Amino acid sequence: MRQSIGLTGSHSELALRFPNVLAFLVYAIAVWLLLKPWKNNPFLYFLGLGMLLLNPYLIDFFSIARGYGLALAFGLMAVYFFVKAREPGQLKPFVRDLFFSMLFSLLAAYSNFIFINLNIALLALFLLEFVLHYRKEILRENLSLGIGLILIVGLNLHHINKIHDILMVLQDNKELYFGGKQGFIISTLRVLIHRSIYLGYYGEAFWERIYHGLIIAFFGLTVILLLRKKQSGLNRIFALLVVMIAAAVIQFHVFQILFPVDRTALIFIPLAGLTLFHVGVDLSDWFSSHLRKSEWFIGLVLFAFFVLPMGYHFIRNMNTKYILEWKFDANTKEVVRMIQSESSSVEQKSIVSSWEFHPALDFYIQRISNNKKLIIDNTLSNNGDYIYCHAHEKEKIADTTAFTVMANFADTKTILLKRKNPHPEE
Amino acid sequence: MKRLTFLTSFTAILFFMSIFVYVAYRASIIGLTHDECNTYTILNPAGGGGIVLSKQLPTTTYSTPG
């Protein structure tokens, strides 16, 4: 954010959010690279695109000035370098992919500390792959690559330790309060489904079906992959998903770190999407090897069942007003504009607001009102010229008769009240 | 087959660009949120020409309840 202000010299919304907007391009490149091998099968290709992009909740984070968009973009790039096909036994491509995967996952972790889990999971899986597929002889024959490998792992461990120290400071300061206590399924999965439904509502039965479907698919896939001999990209991505879930569970029980919820669980959306895409790929391969001329069939079926409804859902929820997690702030800028437009430039006006609106009100008062002295009180006392609060907070106001409703925002369930007569103290 | 690959890539690029435009437009039009403003307050280069928020302004007063 600071660099963005320095580069553009602007404090506009777009300037402040620009790094995350650009991060979408990195995310798109990662998606492109991940799906490149399936360009000849358009239905499968668009199944992948749908799974990785058609989630309005996920896309929200590329339009805001937080670290989540950056972390998602770098995180998916790191996943690409892990998932991409490698010839077993060839050390050079392995070391190269390990380097880029660690680099991008560290960038993701520095963008958002929760992504350190992704870095650790990728490192663990790369090391497992090394132990399974690379012998000591290969390492001896490629001494420079061996040294490179040790350096990459060492540097990565150094950064894990660094981020761990920062996290411990945050934990001591009780900053790591955001999360759930009800287990991964309730705290993470259920909430992510709710958030992905976004502003649309299709009834309780709809989301319950998705919820149960995902749980059955997860355990079913675990059994199938344990019994199956064939190794594919699905094994890699599913292993990563399982390790990430296991990490969340272990961290909760060992370190009392809460389960990821809402935005802190964002990485599970592309991971789950990529897993479902690879299920489609393997199903398509299996069908086409058993039935002639059925190469596109599975892709077409999955496209119709998943991508079309997801596309409909995405288009239905497209908007230029809300960031779901902070939906309550959708009208805050408008509130300051309304107050500004009806008061003179020399008058000192006070706005009483709930704590939730305080930062955004503060920002826009400074920006829109310029040198106008608007005073913010973050309690709901009656000493203001205006009150901006949740509609249900109206009862807290001692003398409601002294105020008239200036604006009622039904979408955010907030109201702007204006004092009928000049303030008694003025 | 080449034409199909080209068409798939072309449609995909259009798809990426549409979402990118959507993301950028939203980023420019939606008001800053609670958390973004808090981050801004922390990172804002005070004294370096940035907006100085009211917490740092001596002119701002916070009225007390009652």
Domains of chain A are 2-322 (no CATH), 327-419 (3.40.190)
Rounded Cα distance between A108 and A23, Å, is: 11
Closest CA to A37 of A8, A80, A7, A97: A80
Taking CB atoms and an 8 Å cutoff, what residues of chain A touch B27? 13-14, 17-18, 20-21, 62-64
What pLDDT is attached to residue A116? 93
Rounded Cα distance between A364 and B34, Å, is: 11
Which of the residues A326, A365, A419 would you substitute to probe the B interface, choosing the one with the greatest number of B C-beta atoms within 10 Å?
Answer: A326
What pLDDT is attached to residue A346? 61
**Cα of B30 to nearest chain A Cα, Å:** 5
Beta A349-353 vs A386-390: how paired, if at all? parallel
Flag if A363 and B34 touch (Cβ within 8 Å).
Answer: no
Spatial contact of A333 and A357, defined as CB atoms under 8 Å apart: no
Rounded Cα distance between A214 and B54, Å, is: 48
Rounded Cα distance between B56 and A131, Å, is: 56
Cα-Cα-Cα-Cα dihedral sign, residues A375, A380, A383, A385: positive
Return the bridge partners of A407, or none.
A416
Flag if A360 and B62 touch (Cβ within 8 Å).
Answer: no
Return the bridge partners of A418, or none.
A386, A404
What pLDDT is attached to residue A274? 96
Flag if B52 and A12 touch (Cβ within 8 Å).
Answer: no
- List A residues 351-380 in contact with B (Cβ-Cβ < 8 A): 352, 356-360, 362-367, 373, 375-379
**Cα of B2 to nearest chain A Cα, Å:** 8
**Cα of B45 to nearest chain A Cα, Å:** 7
Average pLDDT across chain B, whole number:
73
Flag if A321 and B25 touch (Cβ within 8 Å).
Answer: no
Q: Which of B15, B30, B39 sits opposite A1 (nearest CB)?
A: B39
**Residue of chain B whose Cα is closest to the Cα of A379:** B65
**Cα of A88 to nearest chain B Cα, Å:** 28
Which of the residues B21, B25, B32, B64 would you substitute to probe the A interface, choosing the one with the greatest number of A C-beta atoms within 10 Å?
Answer: B32
Flag if B50 and A5 touch (Cβ within 8 Å).
Answer: yes
The 3-state secondary structure of chain A reads CHHHHHHHCCCCHHHHHHHHHHHHHHHHHHHHHHHHHHCCCHHHHHHHHHHHHCCHHHHHCCCCCCCHHHHHHHHHHHHHHHHCCCCCCCHHHHHHHHHHHHHHHHHHHHHCHHHHHHHHHHHHHHHHHHHHHCCHHHHHHCHHHHHHHHHHHHHHHHHHHHHHHHHHHHHHCCCCCCCECCCHHHHHHHHHHHHHHCCCCCCHHHHHHHHHHHHHHHHHHHHHHHHCCCCCHHHHHHHHHHHHHHHHHHHHHHHCCCECCHHHHCCHHHHHHHHHHHHHHHHHHHHHHHCCCCCCHHHHHHHHHHHHHHHHHHHHHCCCCCCHHHHHHHHHHHHHHHHHHHCCCCCCEEEEECCCCHHHHHHHHHHHCCCCCEEEECCCCCCCCEEEEEHHHHHHCCCHHHEEEEEEECCCCEEEEEECCCCCCC
Which of the residues B30, B41, B57 would you substitute to probe the A interface, choosing the one with the greatest number of A C-beta atoms within 10 Å?
Answer: B30
* Three-state DSSP state, A414: strand
Flag if B28 and A12 touch (Cβ within 8 Å).
Answer: yes
State pLDDT tens for residues B3-33.
888 999 999 999 999 999 999 999 999 999 9
| Residue carrying structure tokens 């002294």 | A402
Task: Please tell me if residue A18 touches chain B, with a CB cutoff of 8 Å.
Answer: yes
Q: In what order do the strands lie in the sheet with A403-409?
A: A374-377, A349-353, A386-390, A414-419, A403-409
pLDDT tens-digit profile, chain A (426 residues): 778 888 888 888 999 999 999 999 999 999 999 999 999 889 999 999 999 999 999 999 999 999 999 999 999 999 999 999 887 778 889 999 999 999 999 999 999 999 999 999 999 999 999 988 887 667 777 888 888 999 999 999 999 999 999 888 887 877 777 888 888 999 899 999 999 999 888 888 888 999 999 999 999 999 999 999 888 899 999 999 999 999 999 989 988 888 999 899 999 999 999 999 999 999 998 888 887 767 788 889 999 999 999 999 999 999 999 999 999 999 999 998 888 888 766 667 788 887 888 889 888 888 876 555 566 666 676 677 888 889 888 887 877 788 889 999 999 999 999 888 765 544
Flag if B37 and A360 touch (Cβ within 8 Å).
Answer: yes
Spatial contact of A350 and B36, defined as CB atoms under 8 Å apart: no
Flag if A11 and B20 touch (Cβ within 8 Å).
Answer: no
What pLDDT is attached to residue A244? 95
CA of residue A194 relative to chain centroid, distance: 14
Flag if A320 and B64 touch (Cβ within 8 Å).
Answer: no
Flag if B53 and A2 touch (Cβ within 8 Å).
Answer: no
Tokens at A144, concatenated: 């420079």
Q: Is a pLDDT exceeding 50 seen at residue B52?
A: no
Return the bridge partners of A416, or none.
A388, A407
Q: Above 0.85 for ipTM, yes or no?
A: yes
Q: Which of B8, B34, B40 sits opposite A16 (nearest CB)?
A: B40
State pLDDT tens for residues A154-183.
999 999 999 999 888 887 877 777 888 888
What pLDDT is attached to residue A386? 86
Cα-Cα-Cα-Cα dihedral sign, residues A399, A401, A406, A410: positive
What pLDDT is attached to residue A28? 97
Long-range contacts of B8-13 (CB under 8 A, 24+ apart): B8/A39, B8/A40, B8/A42, B8/A45, B8/A46, B9/A39, B11/A42, B11/A46, B12/A32, B12/A35, B12/A45, B12/A46, B12/A49
State pLDDT tens for residues A29-82.
999 999 999 998 899 999 999 999 999 999 999 999 999 999 999 999 999 999
Task: Please tell me if residue A15 touches chain B, with a CB cutoff of 8 Å.
Answer: no
Spatial contact of A271 and A79, defined as CB atoms under 8 Å apart: yes
Taking CB atoms and an 8 Å cutoff, what residues of chain B touch A331? 31
Rounded Cα distance between A256 and A275, Å, is: 29
Spatial contact of A260 and A114, defined as CB atoms under 8 Å apart: yes
What pLDDT is attached to residue A269? 96
Q: Is a pLDDT exceeding 60 seen at residue B45?
A: no
Taking CB atoms and an 8 Å cutoff, what residues of chain B touch A360? 31-34, 37
> Looking at this protein, which amino acid is placed at residue A114?
I
Phi, psi dihedral angles at A296 (to 5 degrees): -95, -10
Closest CA to A265 of A140, A392, A179: A179
Q: Which of A40, A319, A379 sits opposite B5 (nearest CB)?
A: A40
Q: Which of A12, A363, A381 sits opposite B53 (nearest CB)?
A: A363
Flag if B23 and A63 touch (Cβ within 8 Å).
Answer: yes
Q: Is a pLDDT exceeding 50 seen at residue B60?
A: no
DSSP B42-63: HH--TTTTSPPPGGG-TT---P
What pLDDT is attached to residue A373? 59
